[in-house]
């Protein structure tokens, strides 16, 4: 079933799909400098000392396409050291008529424009370690943003795909436009030109919300009269002076050992979009910024890199710009995560201190019938322990199987074996133990 998430407009004709939680890193039409408060000084200094380059010459596009450097996007190379030596060398090795020249640092919006001039069908746009996906040629709109959920099963409440509907019709071809990086579990379809006026961290109406939650949150609310909203407590629409007073009260309580967390939420554009998302059945919402309507939503899969496609009609008409959130690699990653943190590989093993503390490789292990749900039944040893050592409970610890696999990936295949199994490592390989 198709669901309506919202509406988006694209006055410039360009679309940018971006994790809007990362827009603090987006420079818009300003120089792409990383603000000092967002990272340690050494990281900020390195980021702000970087350089941008352009590959030029009769065969520039062909040369760029041959490079296997992550920083290369189209004919451009962004955010690399000032000397650019690896890029210069890589282009020279292609043997094509192309050279590299340094260009002034490009604001992130300028990157969108330059990349789409060469690649209107889609380009990944890097910004301080993140990247969005841009596409050219959308109607001004407003256009519907639609989505479909996964098939019935463990993921049926998650989004399979979400798209901007540009025209009616049956897709005859899907062309990949790139992968969008998500680091804060949210996405937004936006006009990149309008993002030049996006406001982060400063309330557009002068007001703030202050939320708190945690083990002692109810006690805090009783003492300070906070209002319960779903799974947190909240003071809404505070002036700056009211916010500062409440903030100091919370800091004082936490200093007294009361256990809770709190979050300051200025009414910026990020907040204006999150607010309807938090109360929507589709976990989506709209916000108008810079004369354009933007639609944001929670991915329902958390973070990751998700493929983006242009769906075209037989005559080449752009029908959709679609992000495939339930792509096979994303589903596989989710199953893996669940197995590691909630499934059989989250269960515990009794592990010799020779392995857990001393770093010795597991060389002898067996599996008993587990006595508790959290117990895997596995008992893991280095193989050189004496009986006296093994009988001393202080020489053993309890670890989840995932930690053992992280240190020794060969153990994963062994851990799939049933109770009653025993293995020893011979010449680096696990083989069934004879005794």
pLDDT in tens, the chain (435 residues): 899 999 999 999 999 999 999 999 999 998 898 888 777 888 888 888 888 999 999 998 888 888 877 778 888 989 888 877 788 888 888 888 888 888 999 999 999 999 999 999 999 999 988 899 999 999 998 999 999 999 898 888 999 999 999 999 889 999 999 999 998 999 999 999 999 999 988 898 899 998 888 888 888 888 887 778 777 888 888 999 988 888 888 888 877 778 888 888 899 999 999 989 988 999 999 999 999 999 999 999 888 889 999 999 999 999 999 999 998 888 887 788 888 888 888 899 999 999 888 888 899 999 998 888 889 999 999 988 899 898 888 888 988 998 898 888 989 889 999 998 999 998 888 888 876
Residue 186 within a domain? yes
Residues 171 and 242 in one domain: no
Name the token pair of 59.
């065969």
216, 237, 267: which is the final residue of a domain? 267
Number of structural domains found in the chain: 3
Residues 127 and 191 in one domain: yes
Report pLDDT for 429: 87
Task: Write down the H helix ranges in 359-400.
Answer: 387-391
Report pLDDT for 262: 85
Q: Domain range holding 253?
A: 208-267
Type and span of the H or E element at 414: helix 411-415
Residues 192 and 329 in one domain: yes
Greatest Cα pair distance in the chain: 78
Report d(CA 80, CA 85) in Å as an integer.
10
Residues 125 and 158 in one domain: yes
Residue 41 within a domain? no
What is the Cα 289 distance to its own chain's centre?
24
Residue 420 within a domain? yes
Report pLDDT for 435: 63
Return the closest-CA partner of residue 120 out of 107, 141, 137, 132: 137
Residue 239 CB partners (closer than 8 Å, separation 6+): 206, 207, 208
Residues 168 and 135 in one domain: yes
Residue 171 within a domain? yes
Residue 201 within a domain? no
Residues 424 and 370 in one domain: yes
Residues 174 and 220 in one domain: no
Complete edge-to-edge strand list for the sheet that includes strand 2-8 = 2-8, 143-149, 159-165, 318-324, 304-312, 173-182
Residue 80 within a domain? no
CATH of the domain at 311: 2.60.34
Residue 368 CB partners (closer than 8 Å, separation 6+): 377, 379, 419
Side-chain-facing half-sphere of 297: CA atoms under 13 Å: 28
Residues 164 and 306 in one domain: yes
Residues 170 and 311 in one domain: yes
Type and span of the H or E element at 146: strand 143-149
Residues 185 and 216 in one domain: no
Residues 158 and 191 in one domain: yes
Residue 96 within a domain? no
Residue 226 within a domain? yes
Residues 190 and 309 in one domain: yes
Residue 361 CB partners (closer than 8 Å, separation 6+): 355, 382, 408, 425
Report pLDDT for 433: 84
């Amino acid at each position: 079933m198709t669901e309506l998430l919202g509406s988006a407009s694209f006055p410039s004709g360009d679309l940018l799909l971006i994790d809007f939680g990362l827009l603090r890193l987006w420079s818009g039409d300003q120089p792409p400098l990383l603000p000092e408060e967002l990272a340690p000084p050494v990281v900020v200094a390195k980021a702000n000392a970087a350089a941008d380059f352009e590959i030029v010459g009769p065969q520039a596009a062909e040369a760029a396409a041959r490079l296997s450097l992550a920083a290369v996007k189209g004919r451009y190379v962004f955010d690399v050291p000032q000397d650019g030596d690896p890029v210069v060398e890589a282009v020279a090795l292609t043997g094509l008529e192309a050279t590299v020249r340094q260009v002034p640092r490009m604001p992130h919006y300028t990157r969108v424009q330059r990349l789409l001039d060469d690649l209107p069908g889609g380009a990944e746009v890097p910004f301080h370690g993140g990247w969005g996906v841009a596409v050219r040629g959308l109607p001004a709109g407003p256009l519907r943003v639609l989505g479909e959920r996964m098939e019935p099963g463990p993921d049926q409440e998650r989004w399979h795909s979400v798209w901007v509907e540009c025209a009616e019709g049956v897709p005859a071809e899907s062309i990949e436009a790139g992968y969008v990086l998500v680091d804060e579990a949210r996405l937004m379809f936006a006009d990149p030109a309008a993002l030049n006026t996006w406001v982060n961290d400063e309330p557009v109406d002068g007001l703030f919300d202050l939320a708190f939650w945690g083990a002692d949150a109810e006690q805090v609310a009783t003492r300070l009269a906070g209002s319960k909203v779903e799974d947190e407590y909240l003071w809404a629409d505070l002036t700056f002076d009211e916010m500062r007073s409440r903030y100091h009260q919370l800091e004082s309580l936490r200093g007294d050992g009361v256990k809770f967390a709190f979050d300051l939420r200025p009414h910026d554009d990020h907040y204006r979009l999150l607010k309807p998302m938090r109360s929507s059945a589709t976990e989506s919402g709209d916000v108008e910024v810079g004369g354009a309507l933007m639609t944001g939503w929670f991915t329902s899969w958390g973070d990751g890199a998700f493929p983006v496609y242009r769906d075209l009609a037989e005559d080449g008409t752009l029908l959709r710009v679609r992000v495939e959130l339930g792509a096979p690699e994303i589903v596989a990653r989710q199953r893996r995560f669940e197995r590691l943190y909630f499934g059989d590989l989250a269960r515990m093993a009794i592990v010799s201190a020779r392995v857990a503390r001393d770093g010795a490789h597991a060389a002898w292990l067996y599996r008993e019938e587990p006595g508790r749900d959290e117990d895997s039944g596995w008992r893991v040893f280095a193989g050189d322990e004496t009986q006296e050592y093994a009988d001393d409970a202080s020489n053993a610890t309890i670890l989840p199987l995932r930690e053992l696999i992280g240190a020794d990936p060969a153990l994963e295949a062994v851990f799939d074996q049933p109770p009653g199994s025993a293995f020893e490592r011979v010449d680096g390989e696990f083989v069934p133990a004879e005794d």
